[in-house]
Structure 1
């Protein structure tokens, strides 16, 4: 149903690859998110929580570099272990603390001079402006739904994103104590569509304006920031989050047969539904920042 639409959406929908390292660990945690371009001028949108990860990377990396400098100064001391422990407390470093983040934008533009990010004050939406580049690596751009009254319960829509971080072009540099990108390994992650029907339109208050679209299927991690579209490729919104609705069909300590053996089980089922930013919110935000976009 959405095969042709996906081919129209794919040229301007791109993955954001991230690698993260926690304190005290050499293992690298890969992750993905999604953005899509709204015009031919290097302007794209994604989720605010994705943009926060991008903007926080510099501060987090600088904080750990400062800690490493302080640690080097005490390594030769007789009570080095105690002093390092004190530094860990001072710098608020624990085993689950993120200490390094690296992000890269795949297939967006060539080398750019600046990336300006504007985050929506209340919605999970952010605008990215790539500036000072020579050549765009994406093709085409989004066309947003003009008649927003067409966003109704029961309409079939699809989302496209990059939920599975299968890239491997990274490593931990033990000498520098840094995570870094490499020229070896797989550089791409697979695109992944998931469809569903609109179940509800969401607002932040009883009489408030519609700001979100609920879908009957979940949005997967990594699809955050990806477009929500119809069979014609018109953009109805952007994938933001997944909510978990308790169904109430709870089972507690019930005896069942599992692989031919009697077992007692409990189950508390939830329905995982996707939440998307409504197209009207996106268009209003783009107008506020004087960003050119297209409607259809």
Structure 2
């Protein structure tokens, strides 16, 4: 059903690799996001929550460097721990705080000098515009659905993204105390499609802004295209909604492996949430970004 469509969409859909270091640890957490290109001028779409990681990465690291520099003055001070706690509050740093985020756009261009990011004011949508780029490493571009009235309950669609971060080309530098990309290790992450049917439209302020799918969007697929069997784009994967089913089982006795056990279960249905194609096209028009509709 989607074999040829996936092959076509894969030509202009790319992963974003992230590596993150959190405060208080030297371990590296890898992650992925997805973007797809809408024209040949280096303009792509992704989720706002993905783009914000790129946009605010420098600010996060600069805040940590200021904290570290101020704390260093108390290295030999008997009140070091007191000062550390004070400075953590001052700079709003906790064990859950990322202190370094690095991103890498995989197989998009041979090089680029800068980029501009436009965040949608209300929806989980962002435009990334690459500037002064070298050889283009993607082929083709998205073709958006022209008439959104075709999006009805039961419509069978597919999403493509990069939910499983299998790349290993990074390391922690003990000398500098920083994380970095390397030329060793695996540099790619495989794409992963997931199908489903349209279950409901998502409304906001009397407007349809999203499409709910019967299957969840996987972590890392955020920013990936939602498309039909012809490769026409209907929207963009954004998040997963968790719908409580009400079939709760509390302290119920069951037999497992020949033993009686007391278990509780609170089941949820995980469904995908996608940004609607009309929201995408309107935002592209607002930012004067060229895009293409299917004939």
With normalisation by structure 1, the TM-score equals 0.96
Q: 1:66 Cα shift?
A: 1.5
Residue in 2 aligned with 1:150?
150
Query: Is residue 221 from structure 1 mapped to residue 219 from structure 2 by the alignment?
Result: yes
Report Cα offsets for 1:201-237 as digits up to 9, x if no partner. Answer: 11114xx121110000000000000000000000000
Residue in 2 aligned with 1:247?
245
Residue in 1 aligned with 2:102?
102
Q: How does 1:184-263 map to 2 (within 5 A)?
A: 184-205=184-205, 208-263=206-261
**What SS does the aligned partner of 2:57 have?**
helix
Q: How does 1:45-64 map to 2 (within 5 A)?
A: 45-64=45-64
- What are structure 2's unaligned runs of at least 5 residues? none
Distance 2:108 2:263 in 1: 49
Q: 1:93 Cα shift?
A: 2.2
Distance 2:286 2:82 in 1: 53
After superposing the two structures, state which structure 1 stretch, 226-235 or 244-253, moved more: 244-253
**What SS does the aligned partner of 1:74 have?**
coil
Report Cα offsets for 1:52-89 as digits up to 9, x if no partner. Answer: 11111010011111222223333244544443343333
Report Cα offsets for 1:133-188 as digits up to 9, x if no partner. Answer: 12211111100011211111101100000000111111111111111111111111
Q: 1:252 Cα shift?
A: 1.5
Residue in 2 aligned with 1:268?
266
With normalisation by structure 2, the TM-score equals 0.96
Residues paired across the two proteins, number: 294
Residue in 2 aligned with 1:130?
130
After superposing the two structures, state which structure 1 stretch, 77-86 or 36-45, moved more: 77-86
Report Cα offsets for 1:17-53 as digits up to 9, x if no partner. Answer: 0011111100100100000000000000000111111
Question: Alignment RMSD, CA only?
Answer: 1.3
**What SS does the aligned partner of 1:11 have?**
coil
Distance 1:232 1:211 in 2: 23
**What SS does the aligned partner of 1:71 have?**
helix
Distance 1:81 1:199 in 2: 54
Distance 1:125 1:92 in 2: 27
